[in-house]
């Protein structure tokens, strides 16, 4: 959370904001309540969720060991606006959404100007905000690079499996799913694949890949000729999951957290 406060003016009333590390705006709750004529700040904030409000010590408004002000997130701001009966509440929301927030997200800060500001003053404000924006972008790029590096081994493995000609039996696929967080056995997996339309459900097509599954490249069929005691022969068809299918079913059935 940045300590730098940005001050805006809505019809003579101050609105103080600051920006967190992700570039999201927060608003001093008391300022919002004053503008919306919500006189009991504590009661007004009670319906807000924990992630929509926070205490943050800002030196400018909490001096000499004073109480830290409560700040609210953008969703929290909208909740307070809906609670206000003040006719200007709608106008205030439009001002925030159409002027303040777009500028914050575009430049890293709102540039309020007055008639007293000359071109050089406005330019200096823009340069300062531009520098802050570049620093934030560099920080986010560095974080993304570290995240990508952490995912590279898993991504290379997934690509290799998807591109390979290696196939596996349904029982082996069940073991892969268990390794990726899904508690399942071979019989239960057969049942799920039938229910979800990847394998046939009845008759001679039971447990045989459906046309849809074959079109997706998820299975290959291994045909084995079986000679019986009386001399007649039959063909046994065994579904085998392709490398692409292994990746597909892991992504479909395993907990999402394992793939982020």
Better-predicted residue by pLDDT, 166 or 212: 212
- Given a cut of 90, whether residue 203 has pLDDT beyond it is no
Per-residue pLDDT, 160: 47
User: Which of 28-37, 194-203, 221-230 comes out lowest in average pLDDT?
Assistant: 221-230
Given 1.20.81, 3.40.50, 3.10.260, 3.30.70, which CATH number is that of 2-107? 3.10.260
Q: Which DSSP helix (H) or strand (E) runs through 121?
A: helix 119-163
The span from the CA of 138 to the CA of 32, in Å, is 32
Per-residue pLDDT, 225: 82
Q: Residue 229, Cβ neighbours under 10 Å: how many?
A: 5
| pTM of the predicted model as reported, rounded to 2 decimal places | 0.40
- Range 92-113 average pLDDT: 71
- Range 239-249 average pLDDT: 91
The span from the CA of 107 to the CA of 127, in Å, is 10
Exposed / middle / buried, residue 191 (Cβ in 10 Å: 0-12, 13-18, 19+): middle
- Given a cut of 50, whether residue 257 has pLDDT beyond it is no
- Range 230-251 average pLDDT: 87
**Those residues with Cβ within 8 angstroms of residue 241's Cβ, 6 or more apart along the chain or in another chain:** 167, 168, 169, 170, 172, 173, 218, 219, 249
The span from the CA of 212 to the CA of 214, in Å, is 5
pLDDT band per the 50, 70, 90 thresholds, residue 186: very high
Among 136, 98, 70, residue whose Cα is nearest residue 10:
98
- Given a cut of 70, whether residue 3 has pLDDT beyond it is no
Question: Chain-wide mean pLDDT for the chain?
Answer: 78
Mind listing the pLDDT tens digit for each residue in 208-233?
999 999 999 999 988 888 787 787 88
The span from the CA of 1 to the CA of 20, in Å, is 4
- Range 144-169 average pLDDT: 61
The span from the CA of 230 to the CA of 112, in Å, is 93
Q: Residue 241, Cβ neighbours under 10 Å: how many?
A: 25
Which residue ranges make up each domain of the chain? 2-107, 111-163, 166-253
- Given a cut of 80, whether residue 155 has pLDDT beyond it is no
Per-residue pLDDT, 254: 86
CB burial of 71-103 (b: ≥16 within 10 Å; e: otherwise) equals bbbbebbebbbeebeeeebeebbebbeeebbeb
State the DSSP code for 110.
-
pLDDT band per the 50, 70, 90 thresholds, residue 64: very low
- Describe the chain by its helix, strand, coil percentages, rounded to 5: 50, 20, 30
Over its C-alpha atoms, the chain yields an Rg (Å, rounded) of 30
User: Which of 1-5, 37-41, 128-132 comes out lowest in average pLDDT?
Assistant: 128-132
Per-residue pLDDT, 227: 81
Among 15, 30, 75, residue whose Cα is nearest residue 49:
75
The span from the CA of 139 to the CA of 149, in Å, is 16
């Amino acid at each position: 959370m940045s300590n730098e406060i940005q001050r805006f003016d809505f019809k003579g009333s101050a609105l103080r904001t600051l920006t967190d590390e992700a570039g999201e705006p927060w608003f001093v709750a008391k300022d919002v309540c004053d503008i919306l004529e919500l006189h009991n700040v504590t009661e007004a904030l009670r319906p807000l969720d924990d992630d929509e409000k926070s205490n943050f010590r800002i030196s400018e408004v909490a001096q000499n060991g004073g109480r830290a002000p409560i700040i609210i997130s953008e969703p929290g701001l909208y909740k307070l606006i809906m609670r206000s009966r003040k006719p200007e509440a709608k106008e205030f929301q439009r001002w925030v959404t159409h002027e303040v927030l777009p500028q914050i997200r575009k430049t890293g800060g709102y540039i309020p100007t007055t008639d007293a500001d000359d071109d050089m003053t406005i330019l200096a404000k823009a340069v300062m905000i531009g520098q802050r924006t570049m620093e934030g972008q560099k920080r986010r790029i560095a974080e993304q690079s570290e995240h990508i590096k952490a995912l590279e081994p898993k991504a290379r493995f997934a690509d290799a499996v998807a591109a390979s000609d290696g196939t596996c039996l349904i029982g082996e696929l069940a073991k892969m799913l268990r390794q990726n967080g899904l508690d399942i056995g071979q019989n239960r997996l057969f049942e799920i694949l039938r229910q979800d339309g990847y394998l046939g459900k009845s008759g001679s097509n039971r447990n045989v890949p459906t046309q849809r599954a074959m079109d997706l490249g998820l299975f290959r069929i291994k045909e084995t000729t079986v000679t019986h005691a009386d001399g007649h022969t039959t063909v046994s068809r065994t579904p085998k999951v392709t490398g692409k299918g292994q990746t597909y079913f892991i992504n479909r059935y395993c907990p999402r957290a394992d793939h982020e």
